[in-house]
Structure 1
Amino acid sequence: MVNWTLMYDCYGDTDRVPVLLELVERDGNAEAWTELEYRLVLEQDLAFPAGFAALPRLVRLASGSARARGLAGTILRCAAGHHGCDDLLADCAESIAAFRELLDRRLQARPVDYLATFRDLLAAREQYHWAAVLGDFTDDFYHLACPHCAVEVTIAIGDHGRYSAIRDWHLGDVDRRGLRPAAPEELSGTGRWMHRTAVRDGHESLADGIAHLFGQAECPRCASVFGVADEYTSANCPVSP
């Protein structure tokens, strides 16, 4: 049982969220949904105790409500931040596991919002850094430091090329070097799961982008070769307390 007197929302209130949850559970009240979204997540970036406390109820609604599904996913994407709600999040483990299964079933149905659902599933799998930045690979850029010479390298994976380069603000991306995509059998861990899921669901362009993201790049400055995903994860993956 949730002690709502301790579960404040972004306005500091402790009594409004349970009322709103009852309203959306009863009849899907649109105004209640809008207020709930404003109260549980601030600027799509910061979640509050009331948001994590509401997760189990949102997950129960998620199979029949796009707003519940989207709000639950947004809250989970915020879980990478310094929210001070680790105990609440741990209490939601069963609900999050159920949410993962729901999202995976939805991906197999190839919904219009496939990428958003994919990113929500990444967050539910605690892959917060990929949930935050993964795009559709039409015009995606990742910026990281070469692990050997520390120069900033731009990684482009999009319709205009798949390469590493040095970004010059006057000349654009210069000294381009083609990326070396990972072969499916070379992938492991999160990269393997991401690639297999995209292939399973018929999203070949997404799968190809993931193969490049988890492949290798050559530094234009020192010509050393490094794993793109490894370096991006090292620089951006949240460190557990």
Structure 2
Amino acid sequence: MNRAEMRDCRLDVDRVPELLRRVEHQDDTEAWKELGWRLVLEHDLVSPAGFAALPHLVRLAPRSAGARALAGRILERAAGRHGCDDLLADRAGVVREFRDVLDRHLRSRPADYLVCFRALLAAEEEYHWANALEGFTDDVHHVDCPHCGAGVMIVIGGFGRYSQVRDGNEEIRRDLRPATADELTGTGRWMHRITVRDGQETLADGIAHLFGKAECPCCAAVFGIADEYTAANRPVMR
């Protein structure tokens, strides 16, 4: 790596290589923690060193949960305004390798399944879904009804599976209509197939609802949840 590619979120160029050497030989919790905030700043900014470090992280990924998680965090933010498009493009082969590593790992039904599933979505450039899925324990998504424009809250989790709008002090809810396996297409079908394959029942059920239909509590129009969420949140690739 040249010095520009090694610049981290603190504008240092020497610290990341040292940290990568440390985590390669031992599961150093403090080193992983420092790597995290040097490569990814808060929620959206990836440093040049983050993309430059991907080959090293992917090489460690088959045996390191820390590497899988950090590489996933970097890729989940790959559509942001990081100014490293050329550097990321040079890592296309590494991203493909990471996809294969993640797919094999997911088949083992690991403890870090959700983290790795999100990373796989990011590696497939499904960035909006990679950043949206929280495991369907209490996921909440906000969309606008395409017919009347009302802001609709979509709830999928332990509290129920419904669309909701607030009218004054009243909350009006309608049950969601999940898609069947045969009705799913495209990304939704792919996501559902993988989670079913891996015995992830909660995820599979949540995806069926997320890619199903919602009724607007205001105007009673029925619309595709994933279509409206994607239209509003999928990043425009440069």
Give TM-score scaled by structure 1 length: 0.92
- Does residue 10 in structure 1 map to residue 9 in structure 2? yes
Conserved in 2, the CA contact under 8 Å of 1:5 and 1:15? Answer: no
C-alpha separation in 2, matches of 1:59 and 1:41: 16
Conserved in 2, the CA contact under 8 Å of 1:144 and 1:152? Answer: yes
Cα deviation, residue 235, structure 1: 0.3
Aligned AA (1:233):
T
- Does residue 181 in structure 1 map to residue 175 in structure 2? no
Q: In angstroms, what is the RMSD of aligned CA positions? A: 1.7
Aligned AA (2:50):
G
Helix, strand or coil: the match of 1:226?
A: strand
What's the CA shift string for 1:76-130, capped at 9, x where partnerless? 1111211111111111111111111111111111111211111111111111111
2:215 to 205, 215, 218: 218
Give TM-score scaled by structure 2 length: 0.93
C-alpha separation in 1, matches of 2:4 and 2:21: 16
Q: 1:7 to 1:139 in 2, by over 3 A?
A: same
- Does residue 194 in structure 1 map to residue 194 in structure 2? no
Aligned AA (2:159):
H
Q: 1:32 to 1:170 in 2, by over 3 A?
A: same
- Does residue 100 in structure 1 map to residue 99 in structure 2? yes
Cα deviation, residue 28, structure 1: 4.8
Runs of at least 5 residues in structure 2 that lack an aligned partner in the other structure: none
- Does residue 229 in structure 1 map to residue 226 in structure 2? yes
C-alpha separation in 1, matches of 2:53 and 2:209: 37
Aligned AA (1:231):
E
Helix, strand or coil: the match of 2:166?
A: strand
Identical positions, percent: 63
Runs of at least 5 residues in structure 1 that lack an aligned partner in the other structure: none
2:140 matched residue in structure 1? 141
- Does residue 206 in structure 1 map to residue 189 in structure 2? no
Helix, strand or coil: the match of 1:21?
A: helix
Cα deviation, residue 8, structure 1: 1.2
- Does residue 123 in structure 1 map to residue 127 in structure 2? no
C-alpha separation in 2, matches of 1:230 and 1:145: 11
1:82 matched residue in structure 2? 81
> How many residue pairs align between the two structures?
238
Aligned AA (1:188):
T
Helix, strand or coil: the match of 1:184?
A: coil
Helix, strand or coil: the match of 1:36?
A: helix
Please identify, of 205-214 and 29-38, the stretch whose mean Cα deviation from structure 2 is larger.
29-38
C-alpha separation in 1, matches of 2:183 and 2:34: 47
Conserved in 1, the CA contact under 8 Å of 2:79 and 2:237? Answer: no
